[in-house]
Structure 1
């Protein structure tokens, strides 16, 4: 991956694209910012126009101007692939049409807001899934992302800044990224842009100033963005050997997260997603459907389980429900039949009844004893339930 702290020169961009095209190696470039309004979309469009003017086939897959005139003006002569129209609850919405972009087969597709949640009825749940599909077809992807949408960062932002992050991308998206352009402006300048109406409409400014656009929050987000980039550079510097061989080797690994209706399951899935991203592994999520479950099923069990499954699917996991007489035998069978390398499981440290505590502890111990070749990641949880 190539990381730019400062914007590369136009000539450098052109040479890089031409080289990649000649070598049949497409690019996945992310314009990364600490918050909305840093200029990610504008810079992406500016680069796209320069490349088009120099003979590169560039199209817009999806651009969101948010009513910003300077952004809309920068579209200029770039070809825009028609969006897909979707009816939902009596209203018409427009989404990125991945199939249309792939059929058009440009050299580069510009795709704004990578973390966007697609409208129900879309081909994919998330825009990042559309982007990966386009990239895998051989088309270079230029896209934008705010650092707080990265799942591991979103967890920190919600905990430290008390701001809800509803749109997320899993950490493993970084495995596809070949270039990161850090789009950074001083926090004070960003606040001035907001107050001048250059980021959001006037009615949204007061709320924004009380959330992400507090000065102290912007400083934290900027630090998180720089730290994430530094971590990526550190990871690259420790990699030895042929990258293609390493990618092929790692892609065979599988991470399994065990979930239930337990509210802690959502956190386990996010931990598993982060682990899978670091290992470049496939993420599996398993729910053991006990044959006698219906007799002792807690109230709202199905709704809570469905919520956890939805979170897993949104993070790109393959979700399975496996019927078994008991948790241990069900997990062992699934792990062995699917060549699982890592298992993420929750274990309560809470002082509940002795029998219950012993039972929960025995599940983890039995699994570890029965699967000596598997790496277990035991996560303390607030409440019991596998």
Structure 2
């Protein structure tokens, strides 16, 4: 008819493209226990092997650390130019997420996944950029070291004396469809360091005196082997349970959080690791009493509470806020109504003996009345280790 516009009839190819866009990408992670075990090298080798088979693969972000042999593997690959941002007078180079999404390769290589992006970026962390790529249907091959796993943060500090600042939540590791652990004898890794294959010459003495000490590397290597083995076991267990979800009787994990516990991160990491080992969901439950309404608690406590809630969600927990004049009863009611099997609480400073005679603490009531629940009381001194 005159004056009307006929829309183009969608073709079969349009439908196939729509299906392809809706398909989640696959994630493969190379895990190591320290810099220099060969994560980037192995990713680049795999990229070349895929390219030789006609697969569309690009380097979304590759960090050579100035190593000539690693840089040589990059030359023949298509690499997405980095996004350059000026921050506090310094030009910072980041992965260009928008450019990778626009290029839409079949496989993207992403190094240094625990990295924190420069302020103003779409996502705060690079692992979140990877999740965006996966959501867009782009397959990702990435790398990270075991010490960057968030739930291991306190354990790493206790065993090595090093507080790792760049972390990824355990839930990200669970996103991986394939995990490859790159193992190397500690002696061989130290030899690689001494020969200048990991860091520039001026950084070698400092590294040998700090992170690359023999006991540290042995601890990290053991953690890496154990964590990957547990990850594979969780994957196998999850696959075996497909189709049984409705009748599953496995319990859930719950962390009881007060408005401003002194070591909230220790509790959250303990909950994350336990839920991961049990391959189950977990909750973080905060009970707001009349004395702890937002109008009554001070601004600093409110800020800590909100930060702890955000961290819990980042670690994969479902955060629940209850209101009650009786915190112990509210926690126990929630646990029993949501099939919780393991309840994690922090050890609090006990009140004077005469006050305990008049009123039992929340912790004591959980011990006395928590029949059917496994109660885990975290000793913060034990959990946090050396300052």
* TM-score, scaled to structure 2: 0.75
Q: 1:242 to 1:268 in 2, by over 3 A?
A: closer
Alignment partner of 1:95 is 2:97: no
Cross-structure match for 1:379 = 377
Cross-structure match for 1:166 = 165
Output the CA distance in 1 between the equivalents of 2:89 and 2:246. 45
In the TM superposition, what is the alpha-carbon distance from 1:111 to its structure 2 partner?
Answer: 0.8
In the TM superposition, what is the alpha-carbon distance from 1:213 to its structure 2 partner?
Answer: 0.8
Q: 1:239 to 1:196 in 2, by over 3 A?
A: same
In the TM superposition, what is the alpha-carbon distance from 1:146 to its structure 2 partner?
Answer: 1.1
**2:62 and 2:111 in contact (8 A); partners too:** yes
Cross-structure match for 1:131 = 130
**2:30 and 2:181 in contact (8 A); partners too:** yes
| Matches for 1:108-257 after TM superposition, within 5 Å | 108-236=107-235, 238=237, 241=240, 243=242
Q: 1:279 to 1:130 in 2, by over 3 A?
A: farther
Q: 1:135 to 1:328 in 2, by over 3 A?
A: same
Alignment partner of 1:45 is 2:49: no
| Matches for 1:224-373 after TM superposition, within 5 Å | 224-236=223-235, 238=237, 241=240, 243=242, 258-281=257-280, 284-293=283-292, 297=297, 300-302=300-302, 304-305=304-305, 308-309=308-309, 311-312=311-312, 314-317=314-317, 327=327, 341=340, 344-348=343-347, 350-354=349-353, 355=355, 358-361=360-363, 364=366, 368=370
Output the CA distance in 1 between the equivalents of 2:302 and 2:343. 22
Output the CA distance in 2 between the equivalents of 1:311 and 1:40. 28
Output the CA distance in 2 between the equivalents of 1:243 and 1:110. 30
Deviations 1:140-179 (A, max 9, x none): 2111121222234433221112122212222233322222
Output the CA distance in 2 between the equivalents of 1:164 and 1:41. 24
**2:256 and 2:331 in contact (8 A); partners too:** no
Output the CA distance in 2 between the equivalents of 1:248 and 1:128. 34
Query: Any idea what SS the aligned residue of 2:75 has?
Result: coil
Output the CA distance in 2 between the equivalents of 1:245 and 1:90. 56
Query: Any idea what SS the aligned residue of 1:292 has?
Result: helix
Cross-structure match for 1:66 = 65
Output the CA distance in 1 between the equivalents of 2:244 and 2:94. 36
Q: 1:325 to 1:128 in 2, by over 3 A?
A: same
How many aligned positions are there? 356
**1:38 and 1:183 in contact (8 A); partners too:** yes
Q: 1:320 to 1:201 in 2, by over 3 A?
A: farther
Output the CA distance in 1 between the equivalents of 2:318 and 2:120. 19
Output the CA distance in 1 between the equivalents of 2:238 and 2:341. 21
**1:59 and 1:81 in contact (8 A); partners too:** yes
In the TM superposition, what is the alpha-carbon distance from 1:267 to its structure 2 partner?
Answer: 0.9
Output the CA distance in 2 between the equivalents of 1:195 and 1:188. 11
RMSD value, Cα: 3.9
Output the CA distance in 2 between the equivalents of 1:283 and 1:235. 15
Output the CA distance in 2 between the equivalents of 1:86 and 1:309. 31
Query: Any idea what SS the aligned residue of 1:59 has?
Result: strand
Unaligned ranges ≥5, structure 1: 1-20
Output the CA distance in 1 between the equivalents of 2:248 and 2:81. 39
**2:253 and 2:271 in contact (8 A); partners too:** no
Query: Any idea what SS the aligned residue of 1:74 has?
Result: helix
Q: 1:381 to 1:154 in 2, by over 3 A?
A: closer
If you compute each CA radius of gyration, which structure gives the higher value, 1 or 2? 2
Deviations 1:285-315 (A, max 9, x none): 4444444337875795345445534543553
Query: Any idea what SS the aligned residue of 1:346 has?
Result: strand
**2:171 and 2:316 in contact (8 A); partners too:** no
**1:171 and 1:278 in contact (8 A); partners too:** no
**2:147 and 2:220 in contact (8 A); partners too:** yes
Output the CA distance in 2 between the equivalents of 1:122 and 1:368. 46
